[in-house]
């Protein structure tokens, strides 16, 4: 299994950006997926996750209503659409997958990780 994250960059406050994670070696309808982020000196936190079995989703409270996780099973890509960005969203974002269909917001439950992609939101 390999995950390749992309789409990070710079954005203004209030702007939008979409992160992508290309997955190989797995089917996205059989694995649960997640996006995590980490700021230097802080613990990694779960931003959003999606069940592999029933499309159930979970969001970090601070991103609810602004971020949306989605997946394209046929093309084996999943996304994190980020709207109304805030400076506090600045972090390195990671995509992850776990080989059980039920979702989890805890990074220790994930087996596969993409490389990080940096998002910087300026005020």
Q: What is the CA radius of gyration of the chain?
A: 13
Q: Name residue, tokens 């996750």.
A: 49
How high is the pLDDT of residue 15? 98
> Residue 61 above 90 pLDDT?
yes
Q: What are 86-123's pLDDT values in tens digits?
A: 999 999 999 999 998 888 999 999 999 999 999 999 99
Task: Work out whether the CA dihedral 17, 84, 97, 71 comes out positive or negative.
Answer: negative
What pLDDT digit, counting tens, does each position of 1-41 carry? 999 999 999 999 999 999 999 999 999 989 999 999 999 99
DSSP letters spanning 30-66: TSEEEEEEE-TTS--EEEEEE-TTT--EEE-GGGTTT
């Amino acid at each position: 299994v390999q995950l390749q994250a992309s789409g990070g960059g710079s954005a203004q406050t209030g702007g939008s950006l979409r992160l992508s994670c290309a997955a190989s070696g797995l089917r996205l309808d059989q694995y649960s997926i997640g996006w995590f982020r980490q700021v230097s000196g802080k613990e990694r936190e779960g931003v959003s996750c999606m069940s592999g079995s029933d499309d159930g989703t979970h969001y970090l409270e601070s991103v609810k209503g602004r971020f949306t996780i989605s997946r394209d099973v046929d093309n084996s890509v999943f996304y994190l659409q980020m709207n109304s960005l805030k400076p506090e969203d600045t972090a390195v974002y990671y995509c992850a997958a776990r080989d059980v269909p039920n979702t989890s917001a805890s990074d220790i439950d994930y087996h596969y990780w993409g490389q990080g992609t940096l998002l910087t939101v300026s005020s």
